[in-house]
């Protein structure tokens, strides 16, 4: 999908400009704000997609461009 493609393109551009990556830090997420009984299912699904798939896409694309011995934190 579009988020995976955008992530792949950003990682390719970074690797082309800076060379192999040796360290990547994943520090992002999203949470709906409000009382749990008032948060919509759409907001819960969005947060779940971002917080589950986001790190998977990030790690997958970073690992492809890391030099041997690199770390993802």
Q: How confident is the model at residue 61 (pLDDT cuts 50, 70, 90)?
A: confident
Check if the beta carbon of residue 3 is closer than 8 Å to that of residue 53.
yes
Longest pairwise C-alpha distance within the chain: 48
Check if the beta carbon of residue 7 is closer than 8 Å to that of residue 61.
yes
Q: State both tokens at 8.
A: 């792949």
Check if the beta carbon of residue 25 is closer than 8 Å to that of residue 70.
no
Q: How confident is the model at residue 47 (pLDDT cuts 50, 70, 90)?
A: very high
Please tell me which residue, 34 or 2, carries the higher pLDDT value.
Answer: 34
- The model's pTM is 0.62
pLDDT at 32 over 80: yes
CA distance 13 to 6: 11
pLDDT at 37 over 90: yes
């Amino acid at each position: 999908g579009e988020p995976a493609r955008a992530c792949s393109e950003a990682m390719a551009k970074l690797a082309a400009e800076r060379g192999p990556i040796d360290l990547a830090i994943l520090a992002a997420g999203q949470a709906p704000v409000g009382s749990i009984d008032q948060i919509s299912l759409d907001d819960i699904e969005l947060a779940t997609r971002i917080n589950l798939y986001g790190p998977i896409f990030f790690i997958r694309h970073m690992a492809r461009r890391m030099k041997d011995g690199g770390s993802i934190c």
